[in-house]
Amino acid sequence: QKEVEQDPGPLSVPEGAIVSLNCTYSNSAFQYFMWYRQYSRKGPELLMYTYSSGNKEDGRFTAQVDKSSKYISLFIRDSQPSDSATYLCAMSPIIQGAQKLVFGQGTRLTINP
């Protein structure tokens, strides 16, 4: 069993829809949770970053962490075609030192105009 599980999709939704992306994990030591966005043939770029449990909002994006269920989510409101990309969740068990991230498989998302 992988430490981090993410549905690879693909996921296709119409423009304006609310998108929900999810990851589950098994390591209770994870403290930092991240969502990266990766456009085709590009490197991943950090989208959201949260510590421990709770919600964090940034514009149309909301990240949720439920440590009791070992479950994290990324919500995209009013989705746009420019949101079409692969979304990777990533987690880290330490605060300082080399951040050895563990990534999910990535979910490929397409927003249709």
Residues that bind other proteins (CB under 8 A): 4, 6, 8, 32, 34, 36, 41-46, 49, 88, 90, 92, 95-101, 103-106
Residue bearing tokens 């987690």: 91
Three-state secondary structure along 40-68? CCCCCEEEEEEECCEEEEECCEEEEEECC
Q: Which is nearer to other proteins, 19 or 106 (CB)?
A: 106
Phi-psi region of 31 (alpha: psi -120 to 50; beta: other; left: phi over 0): alpha
Burial, 108: exposed, middle or buried (Cβ in 10 Å; 0-12, 13-18, 19+)?
middle
CB of 69: closest distance to other proteins in angstroms?
21
Is the Cβ–Cβ distance between 49 and 32 less than 8 Å?
yes
Q: Which is nearer to other proteins, 3 or 13 (CB)?
A: 3
CB of 14: closest distance to other proteins in angstroms?
26
Q: Which is nearer to other proteins, 17 or 108 (CB)?
A: 108
Q: How far apart (Å, rounded) are the C-alpha atoms in residues 38 and 61?
A: 15
CB of 25: closest distance to other proteins in angstroms?
12
Q: Which is nearer to other proteins, 42 or 77 (CB)?
A: 42
CB of 18: closest distance to other proteins in angstroms?
25
